[in-house]
């Protein structure tokens, strides 16, 4: 069976560590932890964690590029267990200010230069 690609943006493989905080729609913090990005584009990223992240949460992420760290919000679109008994969550960025969007775009561009 052929699977149709539904992404609008190409994703680049990544292994950056980052911290995250899960909040509900009222802003109450439910959990926090560390994870690593498995891939990223200007729209979102795939995050690998040791604990599942439920789709009702908003995720606050601290994403770093060299000496710059940008805090971004994301919606958890899905969360699945992988073969290594870790969890992979698709996170879609939203409510990015222009400066944060620029840093994310530069991160994707720099990563593409290194790994293409």
pLDDT of residue 34: 92
Please list the rounded mean pLDDT of every run of 10 residues in the chain (116 residues). 48 65 92 89 91 92 76 93 93 90 83 67
pLDDT of residue 22: 94
Cα 75 from Cα 2, distance rounded (Å): 28
Determine contact, residues 29/19, Cβ cutoff 8 Å.
Answer: no
pLDDT of residue 116: 60
**Token digits of residue 100:** 């944060």
């Amino acid at each position: 069976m052929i699977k149709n690609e539904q992404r609008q943006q190409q994703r680049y493989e990544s292994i950056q560590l980052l911290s995250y905080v899960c909040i509900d729609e009222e802003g109450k913090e439910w959990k926090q932890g560390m994870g690593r990005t498995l891939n990223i584009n200007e729209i979102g990223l795939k995050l690998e964690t040791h604990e599942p992240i439920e789709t009702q949460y908003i995720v606050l992420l601290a994403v770093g590029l060299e000496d710059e760290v940008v805090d971004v919000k994301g919606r958890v679109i899905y969360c699945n267990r992988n073969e290594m008994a870790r969890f992979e969550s698709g996170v879609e960025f939203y409510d990015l200010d222009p400066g944060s969007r620029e840093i994310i775009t530069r991160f994707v561009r720099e990563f593409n230069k290194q790994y293409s």
